[in-house]
Amino acid sequence: MHTGSYIEGKWQHPKSERLVRNINPADTSDVLAEFPAATTADVERAIAAASAAFPGWRDTPGPERGRVLWRAADIARQRADEIARTLTREEGKIFKEAKGEVMKGISLLEFYAGEGFRMHGKTLPSEARDTFTYTIRRALGVVGLIAPWNFPWAIPVWKSAPALAAGNAVVFKPAELTPATAALMAEIYEQAGLPPGVFNMVVGSGSVVGEAMVAAKELRAISFTGSNEIGGALYVKAAMRGAKVTCEMGGKNAVIVMPDADLDKAAVAIHGGAFGSTGQRCTATSRVIAMPEIKAALVERLVAQAKKIKVGSGLEDGVDMGPAVDEKQWKTDLDYIDIGKREGARLVLGGGKPQHLDGGYFVEPTIFDEVTPAMRIFREEIFGPVLSVATAKSLDEALRFANAVDYGLTSSIFTENVDTIMRFVEGVETGMVHVNEPTIGGEAQLPFGGTKATGVGEREMAEEGLNFFTELKTVFINYSGKAERSMTR
């Protein structure tokens, strides 16, 4: 395993007194590696390397840039089990989920490989005679990417692949908790033939590496995924110096269950959305808003399914849910469970650490009933396996409850009524909407992102994800030799 930062095509070990210890959250005695923490000087070297490499990569034809990404997808497919095992050891999610994340990243590499052939603008009619007008998209330059720990393969891919396809050079900061998976991505880009300096990875803290990236005037854009607290401050600092910024932040996603819903189907979807990946994803289902006539039957189904969950190390056969990523997140989960109890919600399942497990940051699948919209467990992002169930008497009331939070990432409804579906789609305040399926999931060709406090800037993935890493140039070509354009326009 490479355990340094990757700068100008070389693995380097910063001269730092601090080490980033890479620990398995399912077994805290299992230390994967120790990465020397990068310094501000290392960030500056990475930016210098990217700046030097940018012109050559920008001038590489788009289809050839796409072929590099396609080769990366091919290599990643060959190394998929290796990537997934590393991801499970350092992040904690079960191997099956880790393998799914790896395949999602491969799908994104394939999609953006194709975008290298499709970078396009528009041809538009001019008001002037004998004038041809059109737009083209061009790379920004050197861009900064800051990724979270919960999807340490897929999110770095969905940021780096469009940036590279568009012709930018990259300085990338992975999360301190998950540098090993990120190191594999850097290896794969190198094996795919990416020129030295085009992709650079700097491992270190947000207070050092992140701050240096945000302040660096050479970085024309910053793409961030993480908490609202950090993302909000980052957005202000980077925007003040004129950089393009996109921030994907929190979520508090609701599923509305109507009286005509298929309750078995709804329970399966809610179960997967709430407890998959230990609830550690921004699209996780954290709230259920059910109509009173079916709520008891739905809760009964949810509890029955959650009781079957086997908690343990994600590398063990038969395990359904892994640990929280670290001690801080584990304590956050348990603190919110205590808050729910104090606020008067009824704990119907879970609420602590599984008794049979030692040495890891495990939390039981937890379900609260009789939750009200005023409660913190209904309004605040927990990022753990904690599901809150509330009651609404009508669709209008359910929409008010669903929208009564700061976030607006994703939502879902279960119903067979087309009128109800369309009212929900129009009325819910989220960037992504699901009908009769979980709140989770995304596809490479579809935009990903939310509204309100969930995010600012451009959507990620799809064509929109590539557009963020470009600037639009408008071209006027007069081919008659007569300048007839009105000077008032």
Q: What pLDDT is recorded for position 486?
A: 55
As a whole number, mean pLDDT of residues 417-445 equals 97
458 is catalytic: no
CA neighbours closer than 13 Å in the CB half-sphere of residue 233: 9
Q: What pLDDT is recorded for position 483?
A: 63
- Using pLDDT thresholds of 50, 70 and 90, give the confidence band for residue 488: very low
Q: How far apart are CA 488 and CA 154, in angstroms?
A: 49
Max Cα-Cα span within the chain: 84
pLDDT digits (tens, 9 = 90+) for 337-346: 999 999 999 9
Cα-Cα-Cα-Cα torsion 462, 463, 469, 471, nearest 10 degrees, comes to -170
CA proximity to 32, closest of 42, 21, 41: 21
pLDDT digits (tens, 9 = 90+) for 148-193: 999 999 999 999 999 999 999 999 999 999 999 999 999 999 999 9
pLDDT digits (tens, 9 = 90+) for 89-128: 999 999 999 999 999 999 999 999 999 999 889 999 999 9
**Domains, the chain, ranges and CATH?**
5-249+454-474 (3.40.605.10), 253-435 (3.40.309.10)
As a whole number, mean pLDDT of residues 199-219 equals 97
Q: What Cα–Cα distance (Å) separates residue 154 from each residue in 16, 45, 346, 381?
A: 29, 26, 36, 21
355: pLDDT strictly greater than 90: no
33-64: buried (b, 16+ CB within 10 Å) or exposed (e) per residue? bebbbbbeebbebbbbbbbebbeebbebebee
Q: Which is catalytic among the residues 97, 115, 187, 248?
A: 248
Q: Which residue would you say has higher pLDDT here, 288 or 356?
A: 288
Q: Which two tokens stand for residue 405?
A: 């939070």
Q: What Cα–Cα distance (Å) separates residue 355 from each residue in 161, 312, 358, 362?
A: 43, 11, 8, 10
Could you give the percent of the chain with pLDDT greater than 90?
93
Q: What pLDDT is recorded for position 21?
A: 87
Strand, helix or coil at 432?
Answer: strand
pLDDT digits (tens, 9 = 90+) for 273-332: 999 999 999 999 999 999 999 999 999 999 999 999 999 999 999 999 999 999 999 999
Task: Tell me which H or E stretch contains 244.
Answer: strand 244-248
Q: Which residue would you say has higher pLDDT here, 181 or 22?
A: 181
* Contact criterion met (CB below 8 Å) for 288 and 267: no
Q: What pLDDT is recorded for position 485?
A: 59
As a whole number, mean pLDDT of residues 387-408 equals 98
* Contact criterion met (CB below 8 Å) for 202 and 46: yes
- Using pLDDT thresholds of 50, 70 and 90, give the confidence band for residue 20: confident
Which strands form 455-456's sheet, in the order they lie side by side?
Answer: 10-12, 5-7, 199-201, 169-173, 142-146, 219-225, 244-248, 455-456
- Using pLDDT thresholds of 50, 70 and 90, give the confidence band for residue 358: confident
247 is catalytic: no
Mean confidence (pLDDT) of the chain: 96
* Contact criterion met (CB below 8 Å) for 67 and 116: yes
Q: Within a 10 A sphere around the Cβ of 229, how many other Cβ atoms?
A: 10
Q: Which is catalytic among the residues 91, 282, 364, 458?
A: 282
Q: What pLDDT is recorded for position 478?
A: 94
